[in-house]
């Protein structure tokens, strides 16, 4: 399977993911969780939301799995800091989960499937490890719903490059809108679809997303972009400058559309 996660694992990016909370990013699932449930957080990243879930379902057990040992190392550090004992973390793949059939009440995957080349294979694994009647909960970006304001041709060009990188690495920036179709194909029932936004409007929020995309373009995927001749070095510089200008505009904001789906086995 030729697929490479495009999000990056620098300390700066991991720090940004650590700011995510289940009460913000997982709000669509929160009312379904109660004490005693066993939960899998697949593609858990640095584990901030996994640990929030562990607090909610305590004494239920929560399992975080991520393909990156770097993320798991971070998750274990945060677990120790927060002194949470009903969570465990392991590195492994969504395509081949190291769990027995029908182990979990809930499988949560936040901002993971849109990075995968074969999301249907991951969903088939989620189905396998869920108990009958168990819930899968997905949240993924869908770029057609994004608002990066004020709109400009320069920013559209930036998104054109981001899309090319994602596609090349196996992902799909429009994936969120596919949840319902893929869940039906995998045999899930009672599918509830909602949408929400992650917004970046304060100076600090805008700066974090500016630096995230600049690192994505100019550091993590610079060589790929130049090798594929999607941009010249000068054009790449211009796209990074467009992000600086967007960020410096007091009227600008970014609202990232996230499609959400909850379904049962």
Ligand X SMILES: C[S@@+](CC[C@H](N)C(=O)[O-])C[C@H]1O[C@@H](n2cnc3c(N)ncnc32)[C@H](O)[C@@H]1O
Cβ atoms < 10 Å from Cβ of 37: 19
Count of residues near ligand X by CB under 6 A: 19
Q: Do the beta carbons of residue 43 and residue 110 sit within 8 Å?
A: yes
Q: Do the beta carbons of residue 68 and residue 89 sit within 8 Å?
A: no
Of the candidate spans 109-117, 127-135, 147-155, 254-262, the one that interacts with ligand X by CB under 6 A turns out to be 109-117
Q: Does 44 bind ligand X (CB under 6 A)?
A: yes
For the segment 60-79, give every residue that binds ligand X (CB under 6 A).
Answer: 66-68, 71
Q: Does 93 bind ligand X (CB under 6 A)?
A: yes
Q: Does 148 bind ligand X (CB under 6 A)?
A: no
Q: Say how far apart CA 144 and CA 79 lie, in whole Å.
A: 36
Q: Does 169 bind ligand X (CB under 6 A)?
A: no
Task: Please choose, from the candidates 76, 54, 52, 81, the residue with its C-alpha nearest in 3D space to the C-alpha of residue 66.
Answer: 76
Task: For ligand X, give the closer residue by CB, 45 or 252.
Answer: 45
Task: For ligand X, give the closer residue by CB, 68 or 218.
Answer: 68
Number of H helices, E strands in the chain: 11, 8
Q: Say how far apart CA 85 and CA 35 lie, in whole Å.
A: 14
Q: Does 110 bind ligand X (CB under 6 A)?
A: yes
Give the nearest distance from C-beta 18 to ligand X in angstroms.
8
Binding residues vs ligand X (CB under 6 A): 5, 7, 17, 20, 43-45, 66-68, 71, 93-95, 110-112, 115-116
């Amino acid at each position: 399977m030729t697929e490479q996660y495009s999000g990056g694992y620098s300390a700066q990016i991991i720090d940004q993911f650590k700011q995510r909370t289940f009460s913000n990013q997982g709000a669509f699932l929160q009312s379904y969780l109660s004490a005693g449930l066993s939960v899998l957080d697949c593609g858990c990243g640095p584990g901030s939301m996994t640990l929030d879930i562990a607090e909610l379902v305590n004494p239920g057990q929560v399992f975080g799995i991520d393909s990156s040992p770097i993320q798991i190392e971070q998750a274990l550090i945060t677990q120790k800091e927060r002194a949470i004992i009903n969570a465990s973390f392991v590195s492994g793949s969504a395509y081949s989960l190291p769990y027995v059939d029908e182990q979990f009440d809930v499988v949560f995957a936040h901002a993971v499937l849109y990075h995968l080349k074969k999301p249907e294979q991951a969903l088939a694994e989620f189905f396998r490890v869920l108990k009958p009647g168990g819930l899968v909960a997905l949240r993924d970006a869908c770029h057609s719903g994004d608002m990066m304001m004020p709109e400009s041709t320069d920013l559209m060009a930036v998104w054109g490059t981001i899309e090319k990188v994602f596609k090349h690495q196996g992902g799909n920036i429009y994936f969120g809108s596919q949840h319902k179709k893929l869940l039906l194909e995998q045999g899930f029932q009672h599918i509830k679809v909602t949408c929400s936004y992650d917004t970046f409007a304060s100076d600090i929020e805008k700066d974090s997303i500016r630096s995230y995309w600049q690192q994505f373009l100019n550091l993590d995927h610079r060589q790929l972009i130049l090798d594929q001749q999607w941009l010249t070095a000068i054009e790449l510089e211009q796209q990074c400058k467009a992000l600086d200008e967007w960020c410096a505009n007091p009227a600008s904001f970014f609202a990232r559309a996230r499609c959400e789906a909850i379904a049962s086995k």
